[in-house]
Chains A and B, each alone.
Chain A
Amino acid sequence: MQTPSVGKLIAIVLSLLVGVAALVLRARIALPAKDDAAYASIKKKRKRFMTLGVLSLWLFSGLLLGLFRTESSKFEVSISPTRMELFGFSVSSSVVVAWIVMAGLILFALIVRIFVLPRFRETPHGLQLVLETAVGAVSDFTKDKFGRSNEGLAAYFFALAALFLGSAFVELFGLRPPTTDLTMTFSYALVTFVLINYYGIRAKGIGGRVQALMKPNAVIFPFKLLSDIAVPISLACRLFGNMLGGMIVVELVYYALGAFSVGLPAVLGLYFNAFHPLIQFFIFINLSLTFIGEAVEEPA
């Protein structure tokens, strides 16, 4: 910890005092009834004290944390995550974080299965309603795209969505999310590719699947083959690019704010770790199901 200069020490103490004083003063101004004449002005005054208090406490925390900082003046981000040694294998941090996310999800599923499920009622409310809505939505969506109801496929995509959401969420804890690793997204896309071909061959046979590639004319066979190969690559690159872009922006904010990055990255995280990943995962699952449905559809 660096010893602060006198000026910095005064700033730290002053910001703490101003922050606490502003919040205490705000608590002492009572809010009158709603139809009172002075309601609006008192509310505005309370809001001003709240803003002053929060800003001042933010300054205090930034200055205090700045004392503990080691010098890291270069902005580093690498396209591949750090690797670590585990039982003689060299695994990347994405795999370990994915294991952590999986452990959390399995624990949650076990708890729900053992403690919550036996207590379900005929008319749902609370957690039961949320779970039933989510499962129903994914199941209907799968049936819509696939043609028939396929519980195994719906369950796989629900689990994949849960894994994706968990992966995006761990960025709030400071870990590098696994979806920013091209190898991870490529593995997810490869599973989709295997599923497309499995369902295609099961529905039409190998001959039928190759026939579908020659549909209007046998000349376009190489082009259709190429676009079939491009499907998993495009899925992987889209997810990877979007997630990496979001991560770079958040890292830049952390680097720019330095020790003052106390509340602001969490607000940004509302977009970059919740909304944006949600849309990208929805697109991934939507496109996977569309291509699977396309592989099994009967020629009209």
Chain B
Amino acid sequence: MTDIGLIAIGAGLAVLTGAGAGLGMGIATGKAVEAVARQPEANGKINALLILGLALTESTAIYGFVTALVMIFTMGK
């Protein structure tokens, strides 16, 4: 296996963190929709909390993305 091949495999493995993030965000959005359906007048607060929670959860996927980028761009020759 060549050098760049191993880097590519490593980068691909790093981006797998997106799966967990997507799953978590989907569950969170589902719960938020349920909460709004239960109590429509709390729409604004639930919306704000949802956006905050989604952006924080997405950061784990972004960590994987940044790791993969750093691998691709700085580990080659």
What's the tally of chain B residues with a CB closer than 8 Å to chain A? 14
Q: Mark A238-262, 1 if CB is under 8 A from B, else 0.
A: 1011101100000000000000000
Count of chain A to chain B residue pairs whose CB atoms are closer than 8 Å in the complex: 38
CB contact under 8 A between A241 and B62, given known A283-B52, A286-B52: yes
B43 interfacial contact with A, CB 8 Å: no
Q: Which of B51, B66, B73 has a CB less than 8 Å from the CB of A78? A: B73
Q: Which of A80, A245, A280 has a CB less than 8 Å from the CB of B65? A: A245
A77 to B74: give the CA distance in the assembly, Å.
13
A100 interfacial contact with B, CB 8 Å: no
What's the tally of chain A residues with a CB closer than 8 Å to chain B? 17
**Overall SS of chain B's interface:** helix
A78 to B70: give the CA distance in the assembly, Å.
10
A79 touches B70 (CB 8 A): yes
| 19 A-B residue pairs with CB within 8 Å | A79-B69, A79-B70, A79-B73, A79-B74, A234-B59, A237-B66, A238-B58, A238-B59, A238-B62, A241-B59, A241-B62, A241-B65, A242-B58, A242-B62, A244-B69, A279-B51, A279-B55, A282-B51, A283-B55
Please give 7 more A-B residue pairs, beta carbons under 8 A apart, in addition to A241-B63, A279-B51: A79-B73, A237-B66, A244-B69, A245-B62, A279-B55, A280-B55, A282-B51
B residues apposed to A, CB below 8 Å: 51-52, 55-56, 58-59, 62-63, 65-66, 69-70, 73-74
A residues apposed to B, CB below 8 Å: 78-80, 234, 237-238, 240-242, 244-245, 279-280, 282-283, 286-287
